[in-house]
């Protein structure tokens, strides 16, 4: 039954990260009505938003579980990336996997794992 506890903690972290991503992206959308960004700058801002949301979500998940934060953070990172990928495809992004996607997945796994470890010790 311990896997249910892990899954519940991971789900809390992913939902928290997605909510934060949606909120900050909405704020960015409002800003973009007044200011124009190049595609390169927008991609960097989007990656930073995703990373910040993932850090907060992984910490939330690790604190909810109370132990093995690296494992919870790893799960949050993987599921968060999958959720972002699916949402992107639904919203019209290309469904292929490019080097950018591999780098983003690696970042999600690394940041999720490290943030989960941090979350246990906060």
**What's the pLDDT tens digit per position in 73-117?**
899 999 999 998 888 889 877 777 888 888 888 898 999 999 988
Contact by Cβ (8 Å): 60, 12: yes
Query: In this predicted model, which residue has the larger pLDDT, 1 or 18?
Result: 18
Query: In this predicted model, which residue has the larger pLDDT, 43 or 72?
Result: 72
Residue 78 Cα distances to 29, 38, 47, 103, angstroms: 26, 29, 15, 13
Band of pLDDT at residue 3, cut at 50, 70 and 90: confident
Residues 33-36: contacts with CB under 8 Å, at least 24 apart: none
Q: Which residue's structure tokens are 């495809």?
A: 89
**What's the pLDDT tens digit per position in 24-68?**
999 988 988 888 878 788 888 888 998 999 999 999 988 888 877
The pLDDT of residue 1 is 53
Is residue 6 scored above 90 in pLDDT? no
- Which is nearest to 120 in space by CA: 48, 13, 17? 13
The pLDDT of residue 100 is 81
Rounded to two decimals, what is the model's pTM? Answer: 0.86
């Amino acid at each position: 039954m311990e896997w249910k506890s892990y899954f519940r903690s991971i789900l809390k972290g992913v939902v928290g990260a997605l909510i934060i991503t949606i909120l900050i992206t909405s704020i960015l959308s409002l800003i973009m009505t007044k200011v124009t960004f190049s595609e390169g700058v927008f991609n960097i801002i989007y990656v930073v938003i995703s990373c910040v949301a993932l850090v907060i979500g992984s910490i939330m998940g690790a604190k909810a579980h109370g132990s093995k934060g690296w494992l919870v953070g790893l799960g949050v990172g993987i599921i968060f990336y999958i959720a972002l990928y699916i949402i992107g495809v639904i919203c019209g992004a290309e469904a292929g996997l490019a080097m950018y996607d591999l780098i983003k997945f690696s970042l999600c796994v690394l940041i999720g794992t490290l943030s989960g470890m941090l979350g246990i010790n906060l």
